[in-house]
Amino acid sequence: MTRSDELAAGLASTRAKLAAACEAAGRDPGEVSLLPVTKFFPASDVALLQALGCTEFGENREQEAAAKAAELADARFHMLGHIQRNKAKSVARWAAMVHSVDSPRLADALERGAAAALDGGLRDGPLPVLVQISLDGDPARGGVPRADLDELCETVAEAPSLALRGVMGVPPLEADPEAAFAELAEIRAGVLERHPGAGVFSAGMSGDLEVAVKFGSTCVRVGTGILGRRPLTSLP
């Protein structure tokens, strides 16, 4: 089996799983996008997935993502991982969307980076961002505590070079997925009430996408289910 065949099989299986989840939840499959997560995989895999009809991809590390974005100019890369503020300027140049904004200081850094990218002709519009919600307050997993969410959303919404598009959430380790996604959905509803344009709900991965779809996810992030086991996890 060629690598293209492997990716086609993983993609077909994941799309079928997502369609079944939408049917079970009584939702239109067109409401939920599938974002292949290509971190640790080579740009050649991204190119093969493009040939299979994918256009947008998720990455976690700025240096790796920037290199792929430079090599594959027609691919759109989403930043999913933690962003060091000194990397915000670079991220703002190549990111189609940032899912992991979790502090006003990071929002400010991305605003400056996006403004510079717009001024330099490297972007043709504001940088779309999602605010990452933390349910457990674990800084290692990222996310803004619920108590600080409204302030952060306002910071993003008022930034001229950013566009608040919604929220992202990851259930805490060992949490009950049903309870976690229900809480995320409740929080998301409050954000959407205050910011009607923030309709994206990035939630769900290979192992829990069915529950995420049940609770309203509009974007599921799938790596292993499509690309298989990561080959380069030993890299720093």
Instruction: State the sign of the Cα–Cα–Cα–Cα dihedral 63, 69, 71, 75.
Output: positive
The answer to the question of residue 211 being in a domain is no
The answer to the question of residue 181 being in a domain is yes
4: pLDDT confidence band, cut at 50, 70 and 90? very high
Domain containing 126 equals 80-202
- Summarize the confidence of residues 167-172 as an average pLDDT: 93
Give the CA dihedral 92, 93, 99, 102, nearest 10 degrees.
-20
Record the tokens describing residue 158, joined without a space.
């008022």
The answer to the question of residue 6 being in a domain is no
Quick one: pLDDT at residue 174? 87
Residue pair 183/135 in contact by the 8 Å Cβ criterion? yes
Amino acid code (one letter) for 48: L
Whole-number percent of the chain with pLDDT over 90: 91
Tell me: the pLDDT tens digits for 66-78?
Answer: 999 999 999 999 9
The pLDDT mean for the chain works out to: 95
Tell me: the pLDDT tens digits for 89-129?
Answer: 999 999 999 999 999 999 999 999 999 999 999 999 999 99
Tell me: the pLDDT tens digits for 38-81?
Answer: 999 999 999 999 999 999 999 999 999 999 999 999 999 999 99
Give the pTM. 0.95
The more confident residue out of 213 and 229 is 213
Whole-number percent of the chain with pLDDT over 70: 97
Residue pair 127/114 in contact by the 8 Å Cβ criterion? yes
CATH number at residue 145: 3.20.20.10
Residue pair 141/105 in contact by the 8 Å Cβ criterion? no
The answer to the question of residue 195 being in a domain is yes
The answer to the question of residue 62 being in a domain is no
